[in-house]
Amino acid sequence: MNLPNQLPTIGWREWVRLPDLGLRFVKVKVDTGAASSSLHAVDIEEFERDGQCWVRFATHPVQRNRTKVAHAEAPVIEFRSVRSSSGESSLRPVIMTEVVLLEQRWPIELTLANRDEMGFRMLLGRQAIRGRFLVDAGGSYHSARPKRRRSNQP
């Protein structure tokens, strides 16, 4: 329960929506040890639109399921060198998109990377949640769990 003037609480894993990318729900790991947020992306292709660098990519928004695929495009705000949890650095495209969690909607920066070997399709880092939420390290899913859909929509 939140006291007056206290930030809402989220757990170490949550469900978020990424409406600009057409993703109804993605299970995220909330990681206060990671500065930035990252989304699973494959088949990343750079292209130019109106003189600006863009990327188009595919994502598998459901953990352990490669049959559901969503495609998206977004302008690149920069390319950033990011060190993975294994210690390797890679240059990743960074996009800006809106995220929805606990009925709050705000823009976040997302690096795009293949997260097939990771447990979660998305990592929500501390820059995205700073000043918005408290994290209950022992809790999960303070936000509503998505209802199952019968269609093939992600």
Alpha carbon distance 98, 71 (integer Å): 16
In the numeric block, which tokens belong to residue 59? 């994502």
Q: What is the mean pLDDT of the chain?
A: 88
Domain 9-140, CATH number (from 3.30.390.30, 1.10.3470.10, 2.40.70.10, 2.60.120.260): 2.40.70.10
Strand partners, 31: 125
pLDDT tens digits, 46-100? 999 999 999 999 998 777 777 788 999 999 999 998 876 677 788 999 999 999 9
Judge if pTM exceeds 0.85.
Answer: yes
CA atoms within 13 A on the CB side of 81: 3
pLDDT tens digits, 124-148? 999 999 999 999 999 999 887 777 6
DSSP state of 19: G
Residue 115's pLDDT band, with cuts at 50, 70 and 90, is confident
